[in-house]
Structure 1
Amino acid sequence: MAATKSQGKAFTVFVAGVTVGAAGLAAVSTGLGKVGLVVGLALTAVSLAVFLKIKPEEGDVPKISMSAGLKLLGLVLAISGWLIVIAGLNLSTSVSGRMAATIVGMVVTLAGIIGVLPFAANKNAIWKA
């Protein structure tokens, strides 16, 4: 998510570059695929340069340490959700069993990514300095 207009433009260029680069990589055996790969890498490099240029404008980062336990819990939930999906796909032969395992795994992953990790990061948010 972009906080400023310049960050939004750089992020848009980054997403476009990664998309064009991925399409070029998928069709790298053709001439147009090679061009797409080069253009995608160039756009990604331009977005990186813009990101590095606007980094000093963000201000100082607070020096308060974040809770390692909450970050670790979020990481464990995110990874275990994917492991639930993989295990469900390997252990079940029915479509309904695989779908149930996938939904449970997605819920666990999203709980870690959307529920726990932002809570841990917001204790030391840059706008609270």
Structure 2
Amino acid sequence: MSKSDENRGTLRLKNYLFLHASLLLYSIGSVFSKMASKEVFLSWAFILYYGLFLLILFVYAILWQQILKRFPLTVAFANKAITILWGIVWGYLFFGEALRWGMLLGSVIIVSGIYLVVSDDK
């Protein structure tokens, strides 16, 4: 493997880490959105949670533009499906939602689909 291949591989890994960190941030926004929905409309807690949700969406919108510069649209959107998996994790951790076999099977299908799209991107 040549030095330029190593550099390309490192850059590719950094880009994918950036993509998935951005998608993780985006998924955390859904936690604040759900927390806001449990509060009285326009209470301080509602405003705080909803404000954090909007802030995350603002930051994510800027990051998404950078992602689209680095990846083909099909690859970027295929990876966005990972937020469903994060939603399942956040629901379990923060809200005590039950994990069901269908959810786990769906997660495996999502990750497999992402792998198929990404592995074809050479």
TM-score, length of structure 1 as denominator length: 0.41
**Higher RCO (CA < 8 A, seq sep 6+):** 2
Q: Which has more radius of gyration? A: 1
